[in-house]
Structure 1
Amino acid sequence: MAVSDTSSDRNVSRARLFQTRDTIAAVSTAPGRAAIAVIRMSGPEAGAALDAIAGPRPEPRRASVRAIRDPRDARLIDRGLALWLPGPGSATGEDMAEIHVHGGRAVVAAALDALFACPGVRAAEPGEFTRRAVLAGRMDIAEAEGLADLLAAETEAQRRQAVLQAEGALSAVVERWRERLVGAMALIEAGIDFSDEDGVPAEARAQARDELEALSADISDALADTRAERLRDGFRVAIVGPPNAGKSSLLNALARRDVAIVTDIPGTTRDVLEVHLDLGGFPVIVADTAGLRETEDAIELEGVRRAAARAETADLALWIEDATRPGGTPPALSAAILWRVANKIDVAAEGAPEADHRVSARTGAGLDALVAALGRAAGEALGAGEDVGVTRARHREAFAAVSASLAEALDGWDDLADELLAELLRRASDDLGRIAGRIGVEDVLERVFSSFCIGK
């Protein structure tokens, strides 16, 4: 029994999906007033639409100044740049075109309206340009996910990780693992093909087992490392403590803007308020919570419950206490890390109380040290974004399925027939193939591209 490669099947699947279709158009720059707006087109009518709105067609891949006109009445819309990007060497693999116009809302709206008047041109759906690039084989699913993360990156570490995946680092690791798996499959099937040869099946099985045990360990290590997923989501910090300890004031000081209402009335904060911060290049989500105390107020009681729940799910909890009223003891919280922070040190006696950090949200004293410590804690928990890792639940599901198939094969190694072992390994190979879109690309398209912006 020969070991088949799925690359030809993948190309057939892509060819079936990547058929002549509508030409799509969308603004690929951010909405709102700007100096320049870029409008992209992709599809079989891109060239004709460019001729109609900004003719004559420029030389391929050379930006040319053109009058942008409405093809229905030749009315001048703007003067800008036109680019002609014929396929298959374009981003989507199709014929593409761009017009660069001034970024006023009215200009962009008029240019789009003119384009949609051209035969066969319609508005793009979210992520449709990248979807077409994947179906054309210009990038794989994992690389497209990296591109989506790059568009959403808010910190330097997130950017580094997204670029790594968009450039194919995860896909390369998965492909190496798949090649090792296919090699083990070949050894098992060699035992089937040469079952009449003395010693061949046993020797082939032994070599395959060594390879599969090493591969299983590598995949288990990848599953155990959650840093890449956490880097996408952010390091979660919960600010908790008794009422009037200055929790909301500290949140405002960390955010450097008024996020939370601050008063001297206990119980002012009733719900969880979040701010997203970039601390040392790492994404940190800081949540202000209601003061923890006994209360009969139903609304405040719900706030207290939510505060405790947020602390329990946080990567780090900051227990804020009033330095002018020392002696409080933090309740038992199941946060991964708990730091005691003494606030209001500007009006407290020197040295009281004992704490991991001493700050004044009002004057800013001690805040730089606290912010630096938070950045270090986030970096230790999330990693620097420089290593390939599991970044999505979809990847984790696929790796878990591979790990389960390998475990079943290794656990039953001495009892399973070669044909059953080969089937388990084929199933594991298929699950690995799903990560980059080698297998089941149609099943994940909607799931991946629904988060993209319209012009990408």
Structure 2
Amino acid sequence: MFQDTIFALSSGALPSGVAIIRLSGPQVQSGLQTLVGNLPPPRQAVLREIRADDRGLLDRGLVLFFLGPNSFTGEDCAELQIHGGRAVVSAILHYLANLEGFRPAEAGDFTRRAFLNGKMDLSGAEALADLIAAETETQRKLAIQNTSGRQRQLYGSWRTTLLRARAFIEAELDFADEDDVPGSVSQRVWENMRALAATLRSHIAGYAAAEIIREGFRVVLIGAPNAGKSSLLNALARREVAIVTDIPGTTRDLVEVSLDVRGLKVIVTDTAGIRETDDVVEKLGVERAHGAARAADLVIHLMPADAADIDRVNPLNEDNNRIVVTSKCDVGRVARGTLAVSAVTGEGLEELLDVISSRAAASLALAESTIPTRLRHKSHLSDCLSCIDVAVSRDDLPLELRAEELRQAADHLGRITGTTDVEDLLGVIFSEFCIGK
């Protein structure tokens, strides 16, 4: 399919103990022969001298050759495992760039070829990008689950159900006079479509859990000025993220830090102290604090132990996304029924992280099953559901038009995995990969 051969450094930053240069394309065999002489047996690592015609010996390293289509990309592929010095890697890359038909790979080039050669579907390619970008254990688990093809299998089964439903309807339309075609298959079809629609609604609801896993569980700290929000943020982050002073209103804007809490990405946001003020800048900060609280998965309302009204705190006002926490518990009374924390002594910090972790886990109840992991998936699934709803509910429409709605529903599912035309999406999706993948 491709006329050019691509190459790239596929390992980490240089210098390093070992560097891996990956090649893929129709000229891999000839390129290897110019570098290392005879081709090594497929899928066997062989120690070879790597030479350039004009520069002599460049390095010694392991060479692996993968004969297409039994390779990652489906083409002839090779890997050079060499010493990770900048000069060594640069010399080999420079030599490859001057070979006829070779070019440096762009971001996602290898995975794009794997997709176009049928080695993986589009959702699997996206899952691979998520696996590379995973920062937490939960992100890794979700990505590895989807690289196994579970999404492809699920959406493929739903698409088959839709195609079968269309076949029944079109058989009724085209062969109504035939004895072996039931005259009322439509009723059975619509019952199946109602069941599929219910399944889709439940599945789409799982996107909220996937969004939390990929983007992070958002925790917002609110409270009056000098309630200890910035100090708590620094204590949780274990570094100086926010400026802390005794002057009320120090924080004017949102300050965020990303944490790994029990294997889950958690984004904690410090906000401006909430109070009435005539200061224009501080007033903007208060407005942003309210906005952040509305968008948060969990709001932690800090009430300092030295506050005059600490005894009037009512933790019963807590709800699913808001809890009251007594801060500065080392200098005053603790509000009854609240969790007490101190950024100075560290008291209560682990317990607070446990609370955040349990609240996040409750939000991920659907994450153990196959769920839509990207907004693109959710959008196509929602469009698919809309088409099914129209087909099921609009019994005033001709049967041909209702069948057309089912065809469009199946196409939306196909666009998730790449079984229908998705050429306009490929550049966006594969640009997310790093060079060499």
TM above 0.5, yes or no, is yes
Residue 26 of structure 2: SS of its match in structure 1? coil
> Contact 2:318–2:324 at 8 Å: present in 1 too?
no
> Contact 2:220–2:298 at 8 Å: present in 1 too?
yes
Q: Aligned residue for 2:347?
A: 365
Residue from 311, 329, 341 that aligns with 2:325: 341
Q: Aligned residue for 2:254?
A: 272
Gaps of 5+ in 1: 1-18
Identity of aligned residues (%): 47
Residue from 380, 385, 395 that aligns with 1:398: 380
Q: Aligned residue for 1:254?
A: 236
Q: Read off the aligned partner of 1:346 and give its amino acid letter.
A: D
| 1:412 and 2:412 matched | no
Q: Aligned residue for 1:227?
A: 209
Q: Read off the aligned partner of 1:66 and give its amino acid letter.
A: R
TM-score by length of 2: 0.93
Residue 274 of structure 1: SS of its match in structure 2? strand
C-alpha distance in 1 between matches for 2:9 and 2:278: 54
Q: CA deviation at 1:57?
A: 2.2
Q: CA deviation at 1:52?
A: 2.2
Residues 278-335 of structure 1: CA distance to partner in whole angstroms, max 9, x if unpaired? 11221111111222223333333322222221111111111112111241679xx999
Residue from 416, 431, 437 that aligns with 1:435: 416
Mapping of 1:97-112 within 5 angstroms? Answer: 97-112=78-93
- Residues 1:405 and 1:246: Cα distance change in structure 2 (over 3 Å): same
Q: CA deviation at 1:365?
A: 0.5
Q: Read off the aligned partner of 1:84 and give its amino acid letter.
A: F
C-alpha distance in 2 between matches for 1:191 and 1:157: 48
TM-score by length of 1: 0.90
Mapping of 1:9-24 within 5 angstroms? Answer: 19-24=1-6
- Residues 1:341 and 1:104: Cα distance change in structure 2 (over 3 Å): farther
- Residues 1:106 and 1:261: Cα distance change in structure 2 (over 3 Å): farther
| 1:452 and 2:433 matched | yes
Residue from 172, 183, 195 that aligns with 2:164: 183
> Contact 1:58–1:82 at 8 Å: present in 2 too?
yes
> Contact 1:54–1:68 at 8 Å: present in 2 too?
yes
Mapping of 1:152-231 within 5 angstroms? Answer: 152-197=133-178, 200=181, 202-225=183-206, 226-231=208-213
Q: Read off the aligned partner of 1:290 and give its amino acid letter.
A: A
> Contact 1:342–1:355 at 8 Å: present in 2 too?
no
Residue 307 of structure 1: SS of its match in structure 2? helix
| 1:286 and 2:268 matched | yes
Q: Aligned residue for 1:123?
A: 104
Residues 142-201 of structure 1: CA distance to partner in whole angstroms, max 9, x if unpaired? 111111111111122211111111111011110111111111111111202321247955
Q: CA deviation at 1:44?
A: 1.0
> Contact 2:131–2:140 at 8 Å: present in 1 too?
yes
C-alpha distance in 2 between matches for 1:109 and 1:311: 50
CA RMSD of aligned residues (A): 2.1
> Contact 1:46–1:96 at 8 Å: present in 2 too?
yes
C-alpha distance in 2 between matches for 1:384 and 1:82: 44
Q: CA deviation at 1:444?
A: 1.8
C-alpha distance in 1 between matches for 2:187 and 2:109: 47
- Residues 1:278 and 1:425: Cα distance change in structure 2 (over 3 Å): same
Residue 262 of structure 1: SS of its match in structure 2? coil
> Contact 2:220–2:300 at 8 Å: present in 1 too?
yes
In the comparison of the two structures, how many residue pairs are matched? 432
Gaps of 5+ in 2: none
Residue 50 of structure 2: SS of its match in structure 1? strand
Residue from 286, 289, 294 that aligns with 1:307: 289
| 1:61 and 2:43 matched | yes
